[in-house]
Structure formats: structure tokens, C-alpha cells
Amino acid sequence: VIVIKKGFIWNGCTLAINTKKTMTASLIHDVLYQIKIIDRNKCDKIFYKLLKLYDFEFSLLYFLGVKIFGWIFY
């Protein structure tokens, strides 16, 4: 269980288009990157699974984006 307090600030999908289907996944991904309770690989897999759960058509592309560039922010 992850509790995200009201007022948490995040920027959505960095360097990508944000949609209703990506906002929740990017919020959880950003929180996991910041608190670092699990490794980066698991954070990225959760992001991908959430994008697929919301039936986002570019899930794989966004996942590859965090796999390639996520190290900058983790």
C-alpha cells in the first residue's frame, strides 16, 4: 500500500505527453523513485504494468523511455 499525501508535487511523465491514462502511473512511479523503497527496475516495471492496466497504447514506448533515461532521476 502506498499513501500519497495531498499536496505531493510531481511533473507527470517527464519529456512525454501526459494523458488521463498516464497520470496515475507517473504519480506512483515518481513517488517510488523518490522514496527508494524498491529498486529502480521494480519501479519501472510497476509503471509499465499500470500503463497497461489503463490500456495506454504507448505503454511499451513510455516504459522504454524510463528504462533508458530513468537513471537521471532515480
pLDDT along the chain (74 residues), means of 10: 89 91 95 93 97 97 94 77
Q: What is the pTM for the complete model shown?
A: 0.89
| pLDDT at residue 71, as a whole number | 83
What is the pLDDT at residue 14? 86
As given in the structure block, the three cell numbers for residue 21 are 491514462
Amino acid at site 6 = K
- How many other C-beta atoms are found inside a 10 Å radius of the C-beta of residue 8? 10
pLDDT at 11: 86
